[in-house]
Amino acid sequence: MAVKDILEKLEHASNNPKELLKGYVTQGDKVVGCLPVYTPEEIVHAAGLVPMAIWGGNTTIEKAKQYFPAFCCSIMQSTLEYGLKGSYDELSAVIIPGMCDTLNAMTQVWKSGTKIPMICLTYPQSRKIQAGVDFLKSEFKNVKTKLEELVGHEISEESIIKSIEIYNEHRRVMKEFVELVPNYLNTITPYMRNAVIRSGCFMKKEDHTDLVKELIKELKAMPKEDFKGKKIITSGIILDDKGILDVLESNNIAVVYDNVAQETRQFRTLVPEGGDALERLAKLWAEIEGCSLAYDPQKLRGKMVLEDAKRLGADGAIYALMKFCDPEEYDYPIFKKDMEEDGLPHLLIEIEQGTTSIEQLRTRIQTFAEILA
Q: What is the pLDDT of residue 343?
A: 97
For residue 356, pLDDT over 80 is answered with no
Torsion of CA 12, 18, 24, 25, to 10 degrees: -160
For residue 373, pLDDT over 90 is answered with no
Q: What is the pLDDT of residue 1?
A: 83
Q: What is the CA radius of gyration of the chain?
A: 20
Q: What is the pLDDT of residue 274?
A: 85
pLDDT category at 147 given cuts 50, 70, 90 is very high
Provide the whole-model pTM.
0.96
For residue 243, pLDDT over 90 is answered with yes
pLDDT category at 275 given cuts 50, 70, 90 is confident
Q: What is the pLDDT of residue 357?
A: 81
For residue 169, pLDDT over 90 is answered with yes
Over residues 95-104, the pLDDT tens digits come to 999 998 899 9
Q: What is the pLDDT of residue 273?
A: 93
Residues contacting residue 246 through CB under 8 Å, at least 6 positions apart: 190, 191
Q: Which of 348, 343, 344, 314 lies closest to 331, judged by CA?
A: 348
* 3-state SS string for 78-135: HHHHHHHHCCCCCCCEEEEEECCHHHHHHHHHHHHHCCCCEEEEECCCCCCCHHHHHH
As a whole number of angstroms, the distance between CA 43 and CA 145 comes to 10
As a whole number of angstroms, the distance between CA 219 and CA 183 comes to 9
pLDDT category at 156 given cuts 50, 70, 90 is very high
Over residues 171-186, the pLDDT tens digits come to 999 999 999 999 999 9
Choice among 176-180, 192-196, 335-339, 351-355 with the minimum mean pLDDT: 351-355
In one letter, which amino acid is 269? T
| Residue 356: other Cβ atoms inside 10 A | 6
For residue 118, pLDDT over 80 is answered with yes
